[in-house]
Structure 1
Amino acid sequence: MTQERTGLVTFVGNPVTLLGPEIKVGDKAPPFQVVDTDLKPVTLADTAGKVRLVTVVPSLDTGPCDTMARKFNEHAAQLPAEVVIYTISVDLPFAQARWCGNAGIERIKTLSDYQERSFGLAYGLLIKELKLLARTVLVIDRDDTVRYVQLVKEAANEPDYQAALAAVQKLL
């Protein structure tokens, strides 16, 4: 049975339930499989040995998610190639590709968890009521250990960009 967690996140002021375990700093990053904009599978193991900045959004078609992805894309220009930046949502890959083209996104890679919700369930970020992912930022080191987690309490709010980027810098 999937673990349910309450009292952690609101969506436009309404409390929601997260499905899956709580991932904490120091935990081994759980495996997952999502798809890229070409519908090709992507797993955590694909970037073994690299630092991963994983940004999670409910939908790129909303203002806060659009802003968050654009800001991380801008910051990515200052990061070395050994840092992989993923933005994961349950948006369809076709919509993600269109959004990236319209937004001029080049450095971050958008990934979709629409098929199995394996990322959302493995990381405890799937919102039960909406089947969307909770806004979160994770930093995973070269050895697949979680080094930073920020679960944004209100889904409509943006994360602390500087804290996430500082966590990445500590691993370089």
Structure 2
Amino acid sequence: MAQERTGVATFKGNPLTLVGPELKAGDKAPDFKLNANLLEQVSLANYAGKVKLISVVPSLDTGVCDAQTRRFNEEASKLGENVVVLTVSVDLPFAQARWCGAAGVDRVVTLSDYKDRNFGQAYGVLINEFQLDFRAIFVVDANDTIQYVEYLKEMTEHPNYEAAVEAVKKLV
């Protein structure tokens, strides 16, 4: 049975249970299988040699998640070719593609954890009560070592965008 963490996250003040370990800077980034579309799965190896800013959101169709993804899409254009910005949610790939088209988001790679929630469990962001991934930011260097982590305490709050972008800039 996967590790469960209580007392670390809330949704509108109500406690949530997160499944999986709490990752820290210096940890090796866990591998994952995420859907780029309905048929194609990708893993950490697909982004080998690149700095990865992984933005985790519960659903693109909510206000903070929408704003978070748009913000990182803007930042992505300034970070250079050696950086990839991944947005992970459990939204279906169809919904992610629709949202990106409507929002004009073209620099962020959206990946779906809908199939078996393996990313959520590996990165310690799976919300047991909702089976969604909790808001978090991971910056992973070109050698797949985590250099920056932010697990939000409250699901409806924004991450520290500036700190995440600065962590990326130190690596490029």
TM above 0.5:
yes
TM-score (norm 2): 0.98
Shift in Å at residue 48 of structure 1?
A: 0.9
Q: What is the RMSD computed on CA atoms of the aligned residues?
A: 0.8
Counterpart-to-counterpart distance in 2, 1:161 and 1:167: 10
Contact 1:148–1:167 under 8 Å retained in 2 = yes
Task: Find the residue that maps to 2:78 and give its secondary structure.
Answer: coil
4+ residue segments displaced more than 2 Å? none
Give the equivalent residue in structure 1 for 2:127: 127
**Aligned mates of 2:76, 2:84 — CA distance in 1:** 9
Aligned partners of 2:76 and 2:84 also within 8 Å? no
Task: State the percentage of identical aligned residues.
Answer: 58
Measured after TM superposition, the shift of residue 38 of structure 1 is 5.0
**Secondary structure of 1:77 counterpart:** helix
Structure 1: gaps of 5 or more residues: none
Gaps of 5+ in 2: none
Paired positions, count: 172
Deviates more, 1:91-100 or 1:35-44: 35-44
What's the CA shift string for 1:106-138, capped at 9, x where partnerless?
100000000010100001110000001110010
Structure 1 partner of 2:99: 99
**What SS does structure 2 have at the residue aligned with 1:55?**
strand
Tell me what 2:62 maps to: 62
Q: Equivalent residue of 2:154, what SS?
A: coil
Aligned to 1:13: 13
Write out aligned runs for 1:1-172 (5 A).
Answer: 1-172=1-172
Q: Deviations over 1:66-109 (max 9, x none)?
A: 00000110111111011011000000000000000000001000
TM-score for the superposition, normalised by structure 1: 0.98
